[in-house]
Structure 1
Amino acid sequence: MEDSGSRLPARQDFPHLSDAHWATLEKMVSLLGEAAFAGFPNLPAEQQRARVECFDKYESSLIAHVSAAAQEAARATMRAEAQSAALASATNTASFAARPTTTKPVEMSVPTFDGKDSDSLVFWVREIEIALSAGQIYDARAQVAFGISNLGGRARAWAMARETATPGYFTSWSFMEQELRSTFLLANVAYRHRCAGRCPRTPL
């Protein structure tokens, strides 16, 4: 919490939090912004610890899930490369053997983000980015289309309303991500505060 732009209390104001708890709290604020800290100092010590532990537990499980998906994508890529190399060797022609091995795109499934207060926008965005990379989707509008295809409920209605009113409104995935954060992230934060003292089903 050394950032000069932050108005968060100092470490010594939370002696009941272990160093591990404090490190997790810093990560929450770094990832979600200062709004994630609103109301935290007013909670009883036990609820503060419980909230930090809930975030840490769910983050670990999501990281494990995303890592497993990335590893599976890497294995699929390696299998595709091995098959391509075997085919090149079988032809036994210099012209074909000289061609570089190409990496085939890997299609990954991503759970939909419905825009519910309990949905995790932060982790959904990360899963979309991994899927875009694995699928070798580089065109800006194709990335936007992929993002919209993985929206549901009021989040999809929100996106389509903008695309219908102004065709091509989302000019890039980066811009679409910014718009999603400004529209839905604070609701995620508010939901977590309402669930203070108990582990929610999903984090921010």
Structure 2
Amino acid sequence: MLTALGRFLFQMVNPKISKSVSPLRLVVVLIAAMLLTGCGLFRTKTTINVPQPLTPLVEADMARMFDEINRMAAVRALNGKVDIQFLDNSYAECGIAEKYKTADGRLVVQRPGQVYLIVQVPVIGTKVAEMSSNGEHFWAAVYQGDEKYRRFVTGLNNAHYEKLGANGKGTPPDCKAGGARREQAMQRATVSAL
């Protein structure tokens, strides 16, 4: 097909080969060339509406402001998707922290103080962990990971929990140059980096 078009165009350019070039033939070839090359005949852009920035768009009196505040206060629940990045900084005093891959999450919050969070593996959606709270108590379940991490935990929201160190107790990690725990942390960080 391309060679036939080339011969046809060559005949049109060289009048010795073709004694008569009809104007209709010339118009058809030019229209075909414009359509095949695009030539901007068809719009490649579309106009979209851009949301207005959050600036004060309306002058409001006190009654209008109270109505708006009450409308927002009437919201009982929010549901959303979140990206969660876990960071193990139990050896942060030693200069070591482990950063885990980002996980997908679904967060539902409802007044007064109810929270439900699901953490899932990206793409396949397998549950990694779940957490819920009714404002007074919390429940957390970890489904994935090493056996020592898989567990169900419950507790009180307003209780005072002692900060755990890297060794699983309330003492800070041994970061001195000869510390065995520091060496183990360095080896763990090296292995996780590989």
- TM-score, normalising length: structure 1: 0.23
Instruction: Give the structure with the higher percent strand.
Output: 2
Structure having the higher Rg = 2
Q: Which has the higher contact order (CA 8 A, sep 6+)?
A: 1
TM-score (norm 2): 0.23
